[in-house]
Structure 1
Amino acid sequence: MALAGCLGNGEEDGVDGSGSDNGSRYERISVSFSEQGGALNEGRLDIGVGTMMNFSITPGWVQEAVASVDDFRILDVEDATADAWNDDDTLFIEDLDTDELEGADNDHVDVPGEVPCPTFAYNFVSRVELDYDVVYTFLETMWDVREDLADEFGIFAFHEDPEFWVQNHYEGIPFHPAAADFYQDELDVWSDEFERADESDDVLEADTIRMKTSEQGTTGHAANEALAAVMNDHLDELSIEAQTSDGSEENIGDIASENIEMGFLQNWTAREFREGVAPFDDLDFEMTQVFHYYDLPWYFITNNMDLETLSDIEPDMAVSPTPSGSGTAPGLERALEYALDD
């Protein structure tokens, strides 16, 4: 599936990035993921968010939130809201079986079963100039050590499936020529719907692949550290360096300035880059895709058992649709507006 856009890279609270709430029917607050359980318990937060990596892995901070409250519910989504989400080309909506949540069978936990979720696809990207042999060697080694990677960090078990490497690619952003050849010649997963970038006359050589994901303590960075550790045990002339980042905007800027070789981003940011939306309007380089990292479907959580669906949220309720300024915030704010539209 090619993704034209999915959730965000915003810096402000409002759906439009302006900092206003656009008349939202809720109080927009910002609570970090790890603090959600305590904030729910103390009454500072009415509705937070959760995710399941690749639709099956419950992050530790979600498990902590479940354990922190007397009652825990994943809010259902009304059909009209789901229809509106699916009609919005900037949102990528996938169904999640919430019965798979770690702790779903606990007495104090209520889940709605299958629920539509705004979903983010994270892919690693690079400049087209990045040396062909460097990219090919990287992918070839990563494939060869896929079982070791899965043993080191469970999320890499999905990379044992060749199709996963090209899953949810970004529309309008071609694959690096070495990646395209690898997927065609080695994994046999190349499709006519994919685009192969032309090889550049300029070559960006590297003996260290600096890779940026997200902040310290996030699953994205922890997985990147595991990737570097395993790969460095099997690479001779290359090394991998996992770096922290404040997010997709920083990653793109560092790729543009050649401060890193690869960085991850998600669909919404990829679309904004492709369309030349600020702050990417002054950047002039060809971005290429390298491999698919993981998917994050997002749902909304509460300890208020009077609420059953997103549309039950009331004007005075405190909602944190991920922390303000996070890459996920604008899309989830947009999704909420559909649910609360009179």
Structure 2
Amino acid sequence: MDRESASAVAQNLVTRVATNWRHEAGQPSSEIPGHRIAGAAVEIRSYDSGTLFIDAAATLGTPPVADGSGLAVQFGHWNSARTCVGAAGAVKWSDALASTTNHRLSGSTPTSWGPVPSKPWECVRVLRAKEDKFLTRGFHDVLVGTLPAAVTRAPRLRVGRTSVLGQNQKVLKVAQGGWTPVEVAISNVGTADAGNVTVRGVGRGLKVKAGSLRSISDGTTHRALVKVKPAGRKKPRRLKFVARAAGGVVAQRTVRVKQVRQPKRATAGKYRGAKGRITFTVSKGKVAKFRIRTLTRCNGYGNVADVKRNTYAFPKRAIARNGILHASAKGKGWTAHLQFRAVGTKVTRGTFRYYGPGGCVAAERFAAKRVGR
């Protein structure tokens, strides 16, 4: 009996379950309970590789009959008379003895039930044959089930929550003096990957820089970075996010927007956070001399990760007049990201991320406050 691999389960895209079971007209219906098919269940799971995995079960009446009769499951198509015509190679016999009451047949194509059909199977027959492994010598009973139409695999997007510096926004607040980085959650609730996803924003009184995602696998959620700032004299009220994927897949969501006053400028001086492991200065509206000592994980892909505490620096960057720093830096084989909100003598919603050679990753959230001039 074939077994479904873990990797195949992860690739499962579509499931088809047979319904509307009925005894086939014109076939003998044995008066012996052990030859009657009391019930059946058939499920077909298809994968992006094209393989079909099939799980079938059938129950016979009792008491069992041990006379050389067999039980098989066969897939096929409807003819013009709405009769299920079984495909020659799409049949599998039960491994159990004919005297067994409960039968279970599982396997994948092409090792069981023949190759994947060019036209999806439309029906399934459970056969109580008069002689084991022979379909040409008549049947005691035949049960037929209908397979629902094969679902076309396609991506389907959903626009979810918005967040700024890691904080969910029921009402998106924006201020003059810089871009507000908005992370928009985009989910693929379809049955195929969504490629080349772009997320744009449209709203009166707002200027928007679109975000993009290379692809979103089905069943997953990613965040696209969209930058927003007030523009013009009209106060913003609403912002509509529109996500588009290759093939014309579109989803949208509208969020409320409120324009707020510019915060108090970050006070110049020395700052410290995380019990002294994070230090930096603010001078003339710029963050400088940033240092962070934080845990780093390396070689974590399939191996036991190496964990140690390293010190990282970040180059000088300007804090926007809306109080938000959202910056990136990169060098040979590494990238780093720094973001926070600075108001007066306090820094909140801080995050530092580092990605380096050997699969090394460091990430830490932090807050800081001014400790001196």
- TM superposition score normalised by structure 1: 0.20
Bigger strand share: 2
- Structure whose CA Rg is larger: 2
Bigger helix share: 1
Could you say which structure has the greater relative contact order, defined with CA pairs below 8 angstroms and 6 or more residues apart? 1
